[in-house]
A and B are shown apart, each in its own frame.
Chain A
């Protein structure tokens, strides 16, 4: 480093070194990893479980009108609080057979196009849209790529950005990257206490940055993917508490709390003028990010 008279870098260097040391010494906690495991618990309530407990008159609608019907996405109409709402969610499946049939909740482009179709249908008949987010991510497969996976997700984002009806997303389990966000660009985003929401799976992140997917628990800690982290970062509006030891202990009790939260948010959102709501949603997403200015 060149030294100029009167210019001292020592102080700066010492500060940077100190913060580096502090970072290196930070003990990685496995609390985040435990949450990841709870969020992926096979008995955890999934979209259809919430629907069963909350929307007894749910009528499932099928197909994207282009190519197929993706079982990883379920959607349909139901009554809530005296009005019709459109409920859309990822469905992972509980046992191996259902999981395989549902492709582990990883949607293909057909799934995202079904989402768009149902969202537009909701818009046409002024139904609020409620989404239940629970996916490891969009399906990484040759057929999905050839069918335009990226474009399907992008279009979903655009459709949700333009909806004038109230939109509410609840991250009920795993909010996996773009595959989750495609259903979660909403006026209000809630998250269950033990749900996670992340830009990449901890395993994927560990494989890239640590070059070892066994470091997933460290990656989970670093990624800040728990509900509390997301509240702190201003991404999520509120955290919905779960029964002791997790949502899988009582589907009914969890569904009840979730339903109450959705109802309250619906009432609040319906009192706002549609154009005002769209403007506020737009503003919310335009403000997301963290940077400095020189």
Chain B
């Protein structure tokens, strides 16, 4: 039996705002054209007019990439501490509480085991809104646990990076997270699982100078600022005028620092391709040769093999007849 439901559609009220300001009051920061929030979200936060990639929050990024219902978070229970009792104009505790209430996140890094287009993956996502995506102890520890989970489950690791660098308020401990994350990557190498990092705007400082650039394949979104020292620091230190587009993805790509620059709309599909090709290599792997095992090289391509046969059956006896090649070791 078919059931019918009556749906009442309330007609949309005409916007009372003047046409110069869009209904939502939002415009693209890059090109200045109208950009209602709904349009922006539907376009994965990429401006349909100028292709500017707007920032994406951690949870939104997870929603964009991950198959629904497959997210199983790792390290979610970790919370930041205040080891230095850091206090500048405000206390670190206060800044943390504010960041937590503004973003609804407990830290700048979200990690979890999940599926992307059906493929099991360990995914990490950083959120720039949370104290500039800076890497403190919790970010480091969540990364390490995610790597361990990836190695344990033998799944590839993907991290979408966005970070200003180390977290000053945790002082030297935050610097040590660079060492910690690099050391952790060993376990992934041991099980031969790939690590792909996706660099988004902005990725700078200690995060770029540690795990982010050590990925097997490093990709970036267009127009992202990716540099070790920020443009302002460089200008102040060297009094150099920075070239147009300095430190952007495209410049990094031209300088050979990136494998690919990928538009956000293609990211999911291209990630899948990168991972599938990387894992294809692992599939045909063999046991590495033992130290004591004698490895005899086999002939090369058919042409070389054919040449070797000709050499053996024709050239060698011919040479012997001519009295050369007397030192052939095969002779008794």
Contact = CB atoms under 8 A, between A and B. Distances in A.
Contact of A185 (B179, B208, B243): B179
A162 B185 CA distance: 11
Interface stretch (B87-95, B263-271, B295-303, B316-324): B87-95
A130 interface: no
A223 interface: yes
Nearest to A204: B233
A292 B75 CA distance: 11
Given A146-B255, A158-B214, A223-B168, A290 B209 contact: no
A288 B79 CA distance: 15
Interface size class of A (residues with CB under 8 A): 35 or more
Q: Which of A26, A147, A200 has the most CB of B within 10 A?
A: A200
Contact of A149 (B84, B137, B183, B209): B209
A149 B87 contact: no
B41 interface: no
B74 to A, nearest CB: 13
A149 B229 contact: yes
A225 interface: yes
Q: Which of A141, A150, A153, A229 has the most CB of B within 10 A?
A: A150
Contact of B175 (A26, A177, A208): A177
Interface string B18-58: 00000000000000000000000000000000000000000
Interface string A198-222: 1110001100111000000011001
Interface in B81-132: 81, 83-89, 91, 94
Nearest to B95: A209
Contacts of B228: 138, 140, 144-145, 149-150, 153, 178
Interface in B194-234: 205-206, 208-214, 226-229, 233-234
B166 interface: yes
Q: Which of B80, B167, B178 has the most CB of A within 10 A?
A: B178
B87 A26 contact: yes
B89 A209 contact: yes
Interface in A107-165: 138, 140-142, 144-151, 153-155, 157-158, 161-162
Nearest to A196: B172
Interface string A211-248: 00000001100111100011001010000000000000
B305 interface: no
Contacts of A146: 251, 255
Contacts, number: 194
A70 to B, nearest CB: 15
A150 B87 contact: no
A146 B258 CA distance: 12
A23 B94 CA distance: 12
A293 B77 contact: yes
A23 B90 CA distance: 9
A177 B256 CA distance: 25
Given A289-B176, A290-B173, A154 B182 contact: yes
A137 B263 CA distance: 34
Contacts of B233: 140, 204
B144 interface: yes
A141 B230 CA distance: 10
Interface string A1-44: 00000000000000000001001101000000000000000000
Given A209-B89, A235-B176, A285-B176, A154 B84 contact: no
Contact of A291 (B79, B171, B205, B213): B79
Nearest to B84: A224
Contacts of B65: none
Contact of A178 (B80, B173, B178, B246): B178
Nearest to A137: B229
A229 B94 CA distance: 23
Contact of B247 (A145, A199, A222, A281): A145
Contact of B184 (A154, A199, A219, A286): A286
Contacts of A200: 166, 168
Contacts of A293: 77-79
Given A141-B238, A209-B168, A157 B178 contact: yes
Contacts of A264: none
A128 to B, nearest CB: 19
A198 B206 CA distance: 13
B166 A286 contact: no
A145 B168 contact: no
B179 A289 contact: no
Contacts of B61: none
Contact of A154 (B87, B137, B214): B214
16 contacts: A20-B94, A23-B91, A138-B228, A140-B229, A148-B255, A153-B210, A154-B210, A154-B212, A157-B210, A161-B182, A181-B176, A199-B206, A222-B84, A222-B87, A235-B172, A291-B141
Of all A-B residue pairs in the complex, the 10 with the closest CB atoms, nearest first, are: A140-B229, A289-B137, A290-B83, A209-B88, A150-B208, A199-B175, A153-B209, A150-B209, A288-B176, A150-B228
Interface of B: 77-81, 83-89, 91, 94, 136-138, 140-141, 144, 166-168, 170-180, 182-186, 205-206, 208-214, 226-229, 233-234, 237-238, 240, 242-243, 246-247, 251, 255-257
